[in-house]
Chain A
Amino acid sequence: MSNMNELANLVKELEEQLVTCIRCGMCQSVCPLFEQTRKESDVARGKLALLTGLMDNIFSDPDGVDERLNRCLLCGSCAANCPSGVNVLEIFIKARAILSEYKGLSPAKQIIFKKMLANPGTFDTLVAWAGKFQGLFTKPDKNAQGTSCARLVSPLLSDRHFLPLASTPFHREIPDQGLRKSGKKMNAAIFTGCLIDKVFPNIARASIKVLDHHGVGVTIPSGQGCCGIPALASGDRETFTRLVDHNLALFEKEKFDVLVTACATCTSTIKKLWPAVYKNPDSGIKQRLEALSRKTMDINQFLVDRVAPELGDAQGSRAGETVTYHDPCHLKKSLGVAAQPRQLIRAAGLNLVEMAGSDKCCGMGGSFNVYHYDLSASIGKLKQQNIADTGCTTLSTGCPACMMQISDMLAKAGTNIRVRHPVELYAETI
């Protein structure tokens, strides 16, 4: 740990990206964390300055920078609002990787990422067991969100209201060799994603139903692994790269026109981070990752732009139900998808009401929620308030992670608002 020169040299990899920050501070106005803490090290400009400091070798150990760098939701609001177009997310993710590789991962993360997540089969088995036994430790809240909370005081769960694991994960519903149905229009492969597979199988079922309805063929190869973002966000580029290899090989065996996902986070990871952050890529694999990236699409966008552009509003046909839509950061800020999920909700005959700050981060941020739950919850509370202010009966959003966070917040506030993916709402009508 003593050789900070070595670390400074590693950070130099980021120099060309770091120098583009002009320190204007515009990131402050959109940073959900800065709104809570007002501390310069919590906003992008401060973190970029810290990385420049590491590069200039001004610190005696990397822990202080590492700790501050990890206080970030990776929501990308700063990047979307940056006058200079600094690619903040990519810089932070690469910096986390550089620091983790330099310092070594914590033992807990070693087990979680390298032993569990990196081996999709083991991960599936462990989660399946957990799903069977979760009732021993948790009790259902019996609310509109369907959350549970801990039976005993648990430091791991604190006072969270979390969505329980599905009794049967989605991948158990499809044949061993995977699902393949060819369609009249075109063929889509589905990347399921961990949360949809293990917590929200209904979103996967709804996706298949909707694609079927519109004559799109569906391919779901079995044995899919995680998209890698949890490992990557913790700086474990190795596990991430292993997962990318695994998934790439799996999907390259299939024939399809588009790879769709119903998870905003998976889509943005596959489209942007797979080609950008893969460890030591040779040009061959880079091309293959870029080819897959070009084929990858959010399911809302795919349905509205490519499958059924004629999809009309069926507004008001489901009287009494009003929906408000939360823009997941990974959809709107990273991929620019905002109109299509709304169109899908209106096509489902639902009355869409906009909340204030619909594209403000909900505070989930993946592992941020684990390590900084208090901050995560205070950011989430603002979201919950904006949702409640619309008087809606349903909250819809295109990201399962946001759905978990918002369910927790709505359950805590004791509201009757249910939480659904736009694809679920649309599937209910066909």
Chain B
Amino acid sequence: MIDPSIVTRFNEILGQENVLTQKEDMLTYSYDAAVLDAQMPAAVVIPGSTEEIGEIVKICHEHRLALTVRGAGTNLSGGTIPEVGGIVLSTGRLNRIIEINEADMYAVVQPGVVTAELAAAVEAKGLFYPPDPGSQAVSTIGGNVAENAGGLRGLKYGVTKDYVMGLRFFDARGNYVKTGSRTVKCATGYNITGLMVGSEGTLGVLDEITLKLIPAPQARKSMVAVYNTIEKASETVAAIIAARIVPATLEILDNFTIRAVEDFSGAGLPVDAAALLLIEVDGHPAVVEEEGEKVEALCKKLGAASVNVARTDEERDKIWAARRSALSALAKLKPTLVLEDATVPRSRIPDMVRALQEIAAKYKIDIGTFGHAGDGNLHPTILTDKRNTAEFHRVEAAIEEIFDKALAMGGTLSGEHGTGLAKAPFLEKEAGYSSILFSRQLRKALDPDNILNPGKITGVSETPSN
């Protein structure tokens, strides 16, 4: 229960229609897209301005109320599942693109701007905002920054952190902090911008985000390579990178996923293929031409049964539509879907793909694997039914083994989904106790009352596990 006097203050600041406290509404802000238990907040506040965000943070600070910021609630690590009895700050009304500066190639946005809407607005001016998380039609820039979201173009263009030039945010005490700048270079002070990106709402509440834009590529070429063993496909990935070619996108689909996509969309994919690579090179037309040919030759050399190059925009769209429907196609097979994003150095992709197949067999579970092979970021997608307890225990064990394998290969627990609640218990395995301690001390200094998104990232054991 929340003190009614606090609700009254929220009402005064935001207007009653922007403060929700009924149990029904609390339920709808108790979850996100992660397969984790829901937790009911005490109130949801929906500010419309910088001043209002500041007031909310101050009230939470004053009353030591847990505060979880939520954009679209699409994140897969439980980063937006609130604390029981805490406050959810929804960025739904903070959805203004403040400026798109064509001369200096940057954009300034509020955190609630939907990623795809920003990308479209930028594209209309001949510029490019490359990060394209799978949920971009829904996800917000604030959430992308908080989770350091990736996407299909990470290989060549990087992820959200590579585009954040500056931020304005409220710290845990309600002070307004400005970081970074609107210049390409900026060397003043600590790199607080870098620290904030991927901090999952544990260090401050974002208010304004300045993003770097780049010129749109002039030409693109897409192709599909078909393989009869997944090893050959993953070896091709390593070979393309080794040949010093960096495609904009280099995606893999395993046989399980290919069959699911074909059943779902009838796109004409070869259902007998063990794996497909979907590749796009972009840039200057001459370079695209040359790299396209080289990639095609490499695919064939490494054993592709066939390589189809898209000749028209329509054919190109068809290739990417097939890739984008992978998650949908898998999601239709079973009620529960656990989408992991363990990531390995790209040269280890063949090993990781093999390990995933062994894990699926060992735990007798269905795993469809697809993902951003070019940057080492795979999405082993486990299909199950959470109500089947015995199977779900096997799923949990399998997930832990996936993490162990990825770490043993020099990889990471998460390429793009973040730590959140889901991976917090495993973080020590990757980073070691002292780095958790460092993070915890940092957090404690900046947020002594532990109000900002408690439980995420560093929120598990107080002592080293070994």
Contacts and interface: CB of A to CB of B under 8 A. Distances in A.
Interface of A: 19-20, 22-26, 28-29, 38-41, 45-46, 49-50, 53, 58-59, 64-65, 68, 82-85
B74 A24 contact: yes
A22 B331 contact: yes
Contacts of B198: none
B337 A38 contact: no
Interface in B71-90: 72-74, 90
Contacts of A23: 31-33
Nearest to A52: B27
Contacts of A68: 24
Nearest to A27: B138
Interface string B407-418: 000000000000
B387 A19 contact: yes
Nearest to B31: A23
Interface string B1-38: 00000000000000000001011110111111100001
A25 B33 contact: yes
Interface string B323-352: 000011001100111000000000000000
B460 interface: no
Interface in B383-398: 385-387
Contacts of B29: 40
Interface of B: 20, 22-25, 27-33, 38, 46, 72-74, 90, 92-93, 95, 112, 114, 116, 135, 137-138, 327-328, 331-332, 335-337, 385-387
B340 to A, nearest CB: 14
A65 B332 CA distance: 27
Given A25-B74, A59-B23, A50 B33 contact: no
A58 B33 CA distance: 21
Nearest to B94: A38
Nearest to B93: A38
Given A22-B33, A50-B27, A84-B328, A29 B137 contact: yes
A22 B114 contact: no
Given A19-B387, A83-B331, A84-B328, A29 B28 contact: no
Given A38-B90, A39-B92, A83-B328, A26 B28 contact: no
A46 B20 CA distance: 14
Contacts of A49: 27-28, 30-31, 38
Given A38-B93, A59-B24, A83-B328, A24 B335 contact: no
A85 B332 contact: yes
Nearest to A68: B24
Contact of B27 (A22, A53, A82): A53
Contacts of A59: 23-24
A82 B112 CA distance: 22
A40 B138 CA distance: 12
A22 B20 CA distance: 24
Contacts of B90: 38, 40
The binding surface of chain B is classed by DSSP as loop
Contacts of A83: 327-328, 331-332
A227 B66 CA distance: 51
Contacts of A82: 328
B78 to A, nearest CB: 11
18 contacts: A19-B335, A22-B33, A22-B335, A23-B33, A26-B135, A26-B138, A28-B138, A29-B137, A39-B20, A39-B25, A40-B90, A41-B25, A49-B30, A50-B24, A53-B27, A64-B23, A83-B331, A85-B332
B458 to A, nearest CB: 25
A45 B20 CA distance: 18
Contacts of A38: 46, 90, 92-93, 95, 112
A59 B23 CA distance: 8
B267 to A, nearest CB: 15
A7 B37 CA distance: 23
A20 B387 CA distance: 12
Contacts of A19: 335-336, 385-387
A85 B434 CA distance: 45
A82 B28 CA distance: 18
Given A20-B335, A29-B116, A84-B331, 12 more contacts: A19-B387, A23-B33, A25-B32, A25-B73, A26-B135, A39-B20, A39-B28, A39-B92, A50-B27, A59-B24, A65-B24, A83-B332
Given A39-B92, A83-B328, A84-B331, A64 B24 contact: yes
Nearest to A69: B24
Contacts of A50: 24, 27-28
A19 B332 CA distance: 11
Given A40-B29, A64-B24, A25 B72 contact: yes
Contacts of B332: 83-85
A38 B46 CA distance: 10
A46 B335 CA distance: 17
Most buried by B among A29, A50, A64: A29
